[in-house]
């Protein structure tokens, strides 16, 4: 059983979060509970494709984004509910997501 008095080692990490109803977001984890988390500098990954021919959402957290094939929202602070998974990002992926161009509909 986890020590509930220990500091949460996920706090402060750049993560990708899949939610049940709000889609996929990536940002810096500020807080979390069993099914909720708060992100700062969060980008909504409205439509994403993994860089370097990767696959799956874990590939985004490892390799980052293919900018030409992805649609990423502007950074915001957000409280997400009904989280299904939280995936820690590599430094390379965090930079890729944070620096992705913001999708602007034409």
Please indicate whether residue 29 or residue 54 has the higher confidence score (pLDDT). 29
CB-count exposure of residue 101 (10 Å: 0-12, 13-18, 19+): exposed
| pLDDT tens, residue by residue, 83-105 | 999 999 999 999 999 999 999 88
Mean pLDDT of 41-52: 96
Query: pLDDT band at 1, cuts 50/70/90?
Result: low
Mean pLDDT of 47-67: 94
Here the tokens at position 28 are 């810096």
| pLDDT tens, residue by residue, 73-86 | 999 999 999 999 99
CA–CA gap between residue 98 and residue 104 (Å, rounded): 16
How distant, in Å, are the alpha carbons of 34, 63, 92 from that of 22?
Answer: 16, 23, 25
Domains, the chain, in order of start with CATH, read: 14-98 (2.30.30)
**51: nearest Cα among 37, 61, 41:** 61
**Which helix (DSSP H) or strand (DSSP E) does residue 28 occupy?**
strand 24-32
């Amino acid at each position: 059983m986890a020590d509930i008095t220990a500091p949460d080692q996920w706090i402060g990490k750049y993560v990708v979060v899949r939610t049940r109803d709000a889609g996929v977001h990536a940002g810096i984890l500020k807080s979390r509970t069993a099914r909720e988390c708060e992100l700062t500098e969060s980008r909504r990954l409205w439509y994403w494709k993994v860089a370097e021919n990767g696959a799956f959402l874990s590939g985004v957290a490892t390799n980052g984004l293919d900018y030409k094939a992805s649609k990423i929202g502007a950074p915001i602070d957000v409280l997400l509910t009904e989280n299904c998974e939280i995936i820690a990002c590599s430094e390379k992926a965090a930079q890729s997501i944070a620096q992705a161009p913001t999708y602007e509909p034409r």
